[in-house]
Structure 1
């Protein structure tokens, strides 16, 4: 049993030392001083008037000479339409796209995103959400199309705003580990997902691959499934500068958070086989690590001491790396709670995975 626990630690440390450490060591590039090709920013909104009032101006006032902001109003009834029409009179680079109830379409965010992409007049598309705000006016300078024409996808980072309470800490910690995973694997040459709150890709890449046709039947995946299907080691760039982070409003209720994770779980089942394998191994061996550690506590005193030593070694090694990553990804305040949140998050996500498998299948994006 101790040997199995030690082997689980070895597998766990592979991800820590050979994948995540790459993100901790990489040098973060400065934001480019010179703007390049024009940009289309795409935002989909459904009953988001309060968020649009608060955050849309930070997108419209970016320090970039040639860009448009395409806001897709997806059948809102909260006054979004009137607000956007008034704002459009003040900003010539704001374009409004309306999704109407009587349109023949497949309901969901993917249709709204597709409408926004079709309406965009520029080749380089930058995506964010209505409840998001760029960390600085230089966001688009960092997310612009790279000089290397082989780069078709740029992956950014989007932390959640700090609020009070355990739920907020758990959400931010989960977002941190998700980001560490997908950004590290992208840097390692195995990109498997992106987050629609802060990412970019070429319009031609979207239409060349028939958009979301392969997974239009599920409500989520407009960001991660698209990247999973079309990213490779040669066409992806990661941008980590804090000026190009995009802050987002977190869920304020456990119900909302569970619903969000259920959507993400459904998308993950459609990842490429190799990506499902590496992510499944990571989760399975983490589960086995805690399970075998707990089992050790029911045996001899020697077994308890050795099991505790293996757990302590795991925490010690990770505490050498993750605090630096927490600082890099704007979550420094969580470093003191790292071991506790790590265990809580694991059990929460395990429980949510079972609920997602056996619960109701229908999930809406808004």
Structure 2
């Protein structure tokens, strides 16, 4: 009987989190905060991205925004990234080139490269993306910039992944969806805790007022989520969730590459504020316990009550996550949703164990 009570408590905690996530799922898309179009600096850091830059620089150039510059940072690339950037810069005066060479103190450190790029920017409002990211529309830059105001100095956007065939692609997109649901929901609840560098914006005042990335400059990751975790408040943070403001990145093609990427990202979570670590840990722990205890209950207890609890939990999940998936153009992930969640729980456990043994050292 104790086992059943514990399982019921886990289901209750799960449902409480889904109710929290409904703060995003059922929220109306926020109105444009500002109709003004002050100058913006778009900052892209690239390491060995020559092929992607050839493809995506024209899309950034084609943004329908009246006044913006593009800061392209070559982070000590071994391929012809610098040559590609310089060839575009010769034809477009809006493009500024920052060529970063490795130094011993900051070897392969993206934050060091970004810091040099930020110093080159002449505008106060900064928008960030990655070299393998395609804007969803020509209105992307305008949509992100429109969320700025005198009070709102930080804008969280959605960095999606391109749809491809295969289980790995769906799992990558499901993990990305669930991460976005969480950081959008927490922000709407007044406790923002992270954002993604694939689609992020903030002001130079916020950056320099926080001394940049200095508190975590030695960590290989965290130029996005750790910075947001430090500076975001319920008053200075805005969301950009219009589909035209999304970006789409190229997903990893192998399980090994994706796991390495997630291992690198996971190293930053231990540096979050305590309240965020506790909330995230409880969510992931309750998810794990739901699957473990659910299976045990079916074998050791009369199956009718566990089935009712499982049905309730999945019903709430489908309603809340289904609505969020619709908003973020990920509705195809609703098919076999429990399966993707089970895969993700297993992968998160694997990453946790791997990172306890060793930690990845650099961003690329």
Structure 1 length normalisation: TM-score?
A: 0.95
Cα shift readout 1:333-364 (whole Å, capped 9, x = no counterpart): 11112121111111111222111112x22421
Q: Following superposition, which runs of at least 4 residues in structure 1 exceed 2 angstroms of deviation?
A: 29-35, 101-107, 145-148, 360-363
**Equivalent position of 2:363 in the other structure:** 365
Partners of 2:325 and 2:148 lie apart in 1 by 30
Across the two proteins, how many residue pairs are aligned to each other? 362
Q: C-alpha separation between the residues in 2 aligned to 1:223 and 1:308?
A: 41
Instruction: Give, in whole Å, the separation in 2 of the partners of 1:253 and 1:4.
Output: 38
**1:11 is matched with which residue?**
13
Deviations 1:104-125 (A, max 9, x none): 6453111111111011110111
Deviations 1:227-285 (A, max 9, x none): 00010111000110000001111111111111111111110000000000111111111
CA contact (8 A) 1:143 1:239 kept: yes
Q: Does 1:57 align with 2:58?
A: yes
Q: Distance between the aligned counterparts of 2:242 and 2:261, measured in 1?
A: 27
Please give the residue correspondences for 1:1-366 in structure 2 after superposition, counting only pairs within 5 Å: 1-17=3-19, 19-29=20-30, 34-101=35-102, 105-144=106-145, 146=147, 148-300=149-301, 302=302, 304-358=303-357, 360-366=358-364
User: How far apart in 1 are the matches of 2:121 and 2:142?
Assistant: 19
Q: CA deviation at 1:76?
A: 1.2
Per-residue CA deviations over 1:138-180 (Å, capped at 9, x if unaligned) read 1111111646311110101111001111111100000000000
1:107–1:63: structure 2 CA closer, same or farther, 3 Å change rule? same
Q: In 2, distance between residues paired with 1:103 and 1:126?
A: 29
Report if aligned partners of 1:108, 1:365 keep a CA contact under 8 Å in 2: yes
Report the aligned-residue RMSD: 1.6
Q: Which runs of 5+ in 2 are unaligned?
A: none
TM-score, normalization by structure 2:
0.96
1: distance between equivalents of 2:133 and 2:59? 9
The 1-side partners of 2:246 and 2:179 are apart by 15
Tell whether the 8 Å contact from 1:8 to 1:289 is kept in structure 2 after alignment: yes
Report the alpha carbon displacement of residue 305 of structure 1 after superposing the two structures with TM: 2.6
- Distance in 2 between the 1:80 and 1:156 partners? 26
How far apart in 1 are the matches of 2:285 and 2:189? 22
- Please say if residues 161 and 247 of structure 1, whose CA atoms lie closer than 8 Å, have aligned partners that are also in contact: yes
Q: Is the 8 A contact 1:124 1:145 kept in 2?
A: no
Cα distance in 2, alignment partners of residues 350 and 71 from structure 1: 37
